[in-house]
Structure 1
Amino acid sequence: MNTSRLIKRFGVKGFGSAGVVLGMALSTPVLAKDVVVKIGHIAPLSGPQAHYGKDNESGARLAIEDLNAMKIQLEGGTAKFELVPEDDAADPKTGAIVAQKLCDMKVNGIVGHLNSGTTIPASRIYYDCSIPQITPSATTPKITQQGFDSVFRVIAHDGVLGVALAKFTVSDLKAKRVVVIDDRTGYGQPLADIYAKNVQANGAQVVERHYTNDKATDFAAILTAVKRANPDVVFYGGMDAQAGPMLRQMKQLGIKASLIGGDGICTTELVKLGGDNVGSNVICAEGGMALSKMPGGPAFEQRFKAKYKADIQVYAPFVYDAVMTMGMAMKAAKSADPKKYLPKLKSISHQGVIGTIAFDELGDVKNAAVTVNTYNQQGKTPLKVLQ
């Protein structure tokens, strides 16, 4: 029975308070319901790698702002995206604990972790609880080779970076003698292994191999041996927190070899950590185009600096694109349910800050470029793009 017939039959007075309530309900517009979508973001927010983590989180927050401005319609209403930030301190055990916490919270998706060493154990946990994960910066090839169909990566992996750096070492630097050092982490060791194998395949000799850890700051013993070996190049598989002190100590010992490394040392922070010891003697490679060459790079950099009053370290554009790509997959599926949007994520083609994001059968970004950089008075400067 419709409302007019109810009122005619019973009358508003006869209908009592129910009639008043009914009248109010009829005159009150139905408001769209917010559908809360929680995106977990995990990175080191404490410790010597906190500058990476804060940079990544800033990129994620910009993406969350943009997704909310789009008023994306999902099943049940308008999506309200929320970032759930967690600190893994670049520690694998802490990373696993945080991963389980986010699983228990039933977040809708994961962007992170920053490090390969934390990403590997966490990826198993996310896979087991059926939450899609996109890493913006963990580069060891193993991550996408585990058979987990819900793990993705938006940056070139170490198989690409290590090969590119090895070729550059021989073809561009004309190096013959190389010393390789790594920090024994899930990132540094595989990258160093790939580099060592390929630099020898390209005709150079690895004259010594040394090991440290990701907490070290004193490299006197290693560098004394390096000086005796008299290499053309020292390769370091690790992060800038160790590369900076290493550069200072190399200069103190009179080691004239160039220091080469992957994206872990390829930061603006390296200049602060290494001081005036950082210059053309440092060569590093990072996945993707240089920020100035990314399709959306200059505009993103301008917005980032205006909001955060800071330079981008390395990965903020990749984090931004990872969050946006996940959001666009949800939009395409009209759902934040991982089971429903995962197929859209696998087949997505999203035009992001870094370029076109589409994934291969393993979950790695297709057509990943590598930029080889050095440093000068203006800071980090691209030398060559390899693809």
Structure 2
Amino acid sequence: MSDVSFVRTEMLPEQAPPASEVGALGWIKHNLFSSWLNSILTIISLYAVYYVLSGILPWTFQSVWNADSLNQCREIMLENWGSTHGHACWAVINDRWLQLLFGFYPSHLYWRPILALILLLVALAPVLYSDRVPTKMLIFSAIYPFLMVWLMWGGTIWGPISAALGFVVGWGVYTIVSKQLSGLFGIILGVLASVIWWLFISSYFTSAMASIIPIGMEAVESRQFGGFMLAVLLGVVAIGVSLPIGIVLALGRQSDLLIVKYLCVGFIEFIRGVPLITLLFVASLLLNLFLPPGTNFDIILRVMIMMTLFSAAYMAEVIRGGLAALPRGQYEGADSLGLNYWQAQRLIIMPQALKISIPGIVSTFIGIFKDTTLVSIIGLFDVIGLASAIRADTAWNGIYWELFAFIAALFFVVCFSMSRYSMYLERKLQTGHR
């Protein structure tokens, strides 16, 4: 008896995979019905989704968009559907959407906050997408904060220019002093020079230049700010300023200088131990008691300062977690290259710590943006405060869900955008193995 081996001399033609293993059917099979438990959970989930959507979709689309009051909305509902239950009255949004967005900002000046928002996106482009946008646009990003203040508040253009010159003076003093003495001493003198400029020289410079070259726009009082515009304004300032302050506080908390360390620790622990609403009450009611008589400290500026400090304390702890996650070898590698403290932080330590901290940083950003709604408690008419004022109107008294659904949609768009950018940035900076 002999074995006859057979070796194939030609390849068989390729065949398509089974339809149940690829495409939509394959995805459903492997992800939704891979086992009996998953199948049961999928069916329960589909029923829950159907139950929710069966109530939300008719309420959303079988609705009234044109009416002058809630009573007129109900009359139209009765005429069309024979019931007022299960139908939305979006007419309140159609009637008051501009007020919900801009508050009491003068209607003939709406172009100014709209332009400020467009320029904000332009200023953020080189920061968020540095690999796709020319780095020269960072010059506009540095100019934008002062331009935004002028667009929103109006008045003479020399006020923002004077504020910007304070940073120029501080940088000039730092550059000169750091060449002669230590960098730390240069930083201290630079900050001191900027403060002296803003407190004692800036007002005289602004008045003199405004009398010589009167360039300005119609001024708008802070009390006229409101709506979603106010939430965006407070959120952008708190987010943009709290990150660098949080970095400084995180580094100060790890400093070997005891005074610096304990000052940073005391500030962080105090701010984190106090509710934000308490700080807002301090900004609104108590802060003026500690200022010289006759001092006019803008209410929105006070709120911005408190929200920024509150966010910076939480940001410091998030960044400190990123610093603690770095292995000791990174610090030793920086020392072996002969880098000083600030060079090591700028080139090696801080970029890695910030990459590790991206989820926590964005979560803090989203949290502080949503916390802007707390300003309604201290008398500022943000979008929540305006919703209450609209419901107090006799024409719309009794309407709830439509206003809050519109407000929720506005906040969701902004917060979801920040979340998606965070995921994009994590994928872009991913260097390790999954």
Higher helix share: 2
**TM-score band (shorter)?**
under 0.3
Higher strand share: 1
TM-score norm. by structure 1 comes to 0.23
